[in-house]
Amino acid sequence: MERKKALNIAVCVKHIPDPNLPGELDGQRLKRAGVQGVLDPGDEFGVEAGLQLKEAHGGEVTLISMGPAVALEAVRRGLSMGADKGVLVSDDALAGADALTTARVLAAAIAKAGPFDLVIAGVESTDGYTGTMPSSLAEFLGLPQLTFVKSLEGAEGSIRVNRQTVEGYHVVESPLPALISVTAGVNEPRYASFKGIMAAKKKPVEQWSLADLELSSDDVTVNQSVTNIGKAEERQAGEVVEDDGSGAARIADFLKEAKVI
């Protein structure tokens, strides 16, 4: 990409229980305390997208996160990949926050740390899978949003993306500032080098409370609750079609019922 105006980019990152380990429940919620955590793998694609734009246009990448003090590990991981600085919002009042509360707090942090030309988030978190946080964040920030981004390029004052759909993709362009949510296919996240890991220890990270964002515990009241937890249904055995001359027609009928064709 042709080098253009430097971009100031914010990337939302999250510290989650390691998805490669068996998940544990603490009551009706995912257990987090005392569990090995990592930077959400989905957020690594967002960090990489920000770094590639920075390399093409110049600028700065700031990581924005919310969580307990241990969540600093995820921010440091993103810094070791090449991000420039980080912000962690940590407050006891945020324990058990839902997606809406998370978006409200991240919006306040982004507004305080900015201004930014572009805000990048993953499509959804690997531990929550609500998929609603980026859209709520865009609404709080008053920004246009481009969702399910599978490729992107920056230009002078705008962002152009291929937005993944069930039929293929849409080409969408938006003026900056804007918010995008990226899919896992948008790039191949880089590994953090030893040099990057050592450099990350010296990069600046701000740690803010709700008071620093001029928010109170009333502003982050959670109005959602988990009412029930059940085991996912086991995958059922498929139907075997023996071809007695009508097999192709039966398969075609099945695909029509499933609205595949």
pLDDT tens track for 182-208: 999 899 999 999 999 999 999 999 999
Task: Characterize the bridge pairing of strands 29-30 and 85-89.
Answer: unpaired
pLDDT single digits (tens) 123-182: 999 888 889 999 999 999 999 999 999 999 887 889 999 999 988 999 999 999 999 999
Residue 69 is encoded by which pair of tokens? Answer: 């003090």
Q: What is the pLDDT of residue 251?
A: 86
Q: Is the dihedral of CA 96, 67, 113, 131 positive or negative?
A: negative
Q: What percentage of the chain carries pLDDT values higher than 90? A: 62
Neighbours of 209 (CB within 10 A): 13
pLDDT at 25 over 80: no
Average pLDDT, the chain: 90
- What lies within 8 Å, CB to CB, of 124 at 6+ separation is 42, 130, 131, 133
Q: Sort 143 into a burial class: Cβ within 10 Å, 0-12 / 13-18 / 19+.
A: buried
7-220 under CATH 3.40.50.620, yes or no: yes
Pick from 186, 162, 209, 237: nearest CA to 45: 186
Residue 18, both tokens? 């390691």
Judged by average pLDDT, the poorest of 99-113, 150-164, 232-246 is 232-246
Q: pLDDT value at position 28?
A: 67
pLDDT band at 1 (very low <50, low <70, confident <90, very high): very low
Residue 96 pLDDT: 85
Contact (Cβ atoms closer than 8 angstroms) between residue 77 and residue 192: yes
What are the tens digits of pLDDT across the range 47-63? 999 999 999 999 999 99
